[in-house]
Homo-oligomer: A and B are copies of this chain.
Amino acid sequence: MGNSFGQLFRLTTWGESHGGGVGVVVDGCPPRLELSEADIQPDLDRRRPGQSTITTPRHETDAVQILSGTFEGRTLGTPISMWVKNQDYRPEAYSEMAEKFRPSHADYTYHAKYGIRAWPGGGRSSARETIGRVAAGAIAKKLLKERWGVSVLACVVQVQDILAPVDPESFRTEDVEANIVRCPNAEVAARMVARIEEVRSQGNSVGGVILGVARGVPPGWGEPVFDRIEADLAKAMLSLPASKGFEVGSGFGGVLLTGRDHNDAFRNIDGKVRTTTNRSGGVQGGITNGETIYFRTAFKPVATIMREQETVDARYQNTTLTGRGRHDPCVLPRAVPMVEAMTALVLVDHALRHHAQCG
């Protein structure tokens, strides 16, 4: 269970790291949207390993194939099934994983839950699972843009203790994509890259923070009381591999202010209700207020490192394990399209839900 997301724009992902492939079925996409693999592949390319010197050298082509739900280049309103074949299976690279639980990975918990696990490459807990999300998210992003003029984007704003000041209102995708770490501040990005190169050379890894943004969302999306926009975004972000925290608007920092300094004053600006500040992060009472939605997600350092670590084996005996082979020292650049995808999926779903009840 737990492999589906969304109420009206609903995706179900499937697939293990090794085996027939990974994929996703999207149910509820509106009909007559122009759609082909060319709309989806670019985000998969941003997600895949091996795209730069600071990610894992594992080269996956991850070519997506649309198996259903479109006809003559447009969506039918029926389920869209997308599939990416697995390649590059080298079981010998993983054989130690059959016998030992990698620290801070899901090997032990899957074993404890299911009594069986697909140990090659982490099976279902592999980040390959996010291929399905990114593919579905690409459709969601296109729909948001075409139907409601909403832009969803994300960028890296922190790597370990290196912070980049980024304005959620104005940073541009071009600047994000201008460097391999996906931080729109070129100067800070260079320092981030250097840091990642350094930890990679040590066989170590590093985490950081991604800023997610949605611009142009109209007032009124979101549901009280459990399915608040920020609650669904929080769930979406914490469902991403390696994520450990989420904050919207002023977030954890906002607790330092008093109510007087934290409240966002309303003003009529050009006939619209606007706020003069945006500590709310575009959401009030779970419902969008027309301001830019922004939030931050923390990602821990990647658990796989090229160092010897203490662990237990499948018979619960103490042992050690040393990572081998490919090494992804920082998941952040590849997580940017994942954050965008999940954000878009939350927003499209709420757009449809809003129009169903109030449209």
Contact = CB atoms under 8 A, between A and B. Distances in A.
Contacts of A206: 255, 258-259
Interface in A296-310: 298-305, 307, 309-310
A255 B68 contact: no
Contacts of A208: 255
Nearest to A101: B266
Contacts of A272: 316
A234 B289 CA distance: 22
A256 B161 CA distance: 6
A20 interface: yes
A264 B75 CA distance: 29
Interface in A232-266: 232-239, 241, 244-252, 254-260, 262-266
A90 B125 CA distance: 41
Interface stretch (A21-29, A46-54, A55-63, A179-187): A21-29
Contact of A66 (B20, B117, B224): B20
With a 10 A CB-CB cut-off, give which of A31, A81, A236 has the most chain B CB atoms: A81
A292 interface: no
Contact of A267 (B158, B220, B279, B318): B318
Contact of A106 (B224, B235, B258): B224
Interface string A101-139: 101111011101111111000011100010000000000
A342 to B, nearest CB: 9
Given A3-B224, A106-B284, A266-B101, A354 B246 contact: no
Number of copies: 4
Contact of A204 (B76, B260, B354): B260
A353 interface: yes
Given A4-B27, A284-B105, A318-B268, A244 B239 contact: no
Given A251-B244, A255-B299, A223 B2 contact: yes
A11 to B, nearest CB: 9
A1 B223 contact: yes
A357 B8 contact: yes
Given A21-B68, A247-B244, A2 B255 contact: no
Nearest to A349: B356
A225 interface: yes
A343 interface: no
A104 B267 contact: no
A250 B298 CA distance: 10
A226 B243 CA distance: 12
Given A103-B266, A252-B209, A226 B311 contact: no
A149 interface: no
Contacts of A281: 244
Contact of A2 (B112, B226, B284): B226
Given A14-B25, A244-B247, 7 more contacts: A15-B81, A20-B81, A21-B67, A74-B116, A77-B116, A205-B260, A259-B305
By Cβ-Cβ distance, the 10 closest A-B pairs, closest first, are: A106-B285, A2-B223, A20-B67, A2-B227, A245-B247, A205-B259, A356-B356, A235-B235, A109-B287, A112-B219
30 contacts: A1-B353, A3-B225, A4-B12, A12-B12, A15-B67, A15-B81, A22-B68, A23-B81, A31-B357, A67-B83, A71-B117, A71-B123, A74-B116, A76-B123, A78-B118, A78-B123, A106-B224, A106-B287, A109-B285, A113-B287, A207-B257, A231-B234, A244-B254, A244-B281, A245-B248, A255-B298, A255-B299, A259-B302, A262-B303, A271-B316
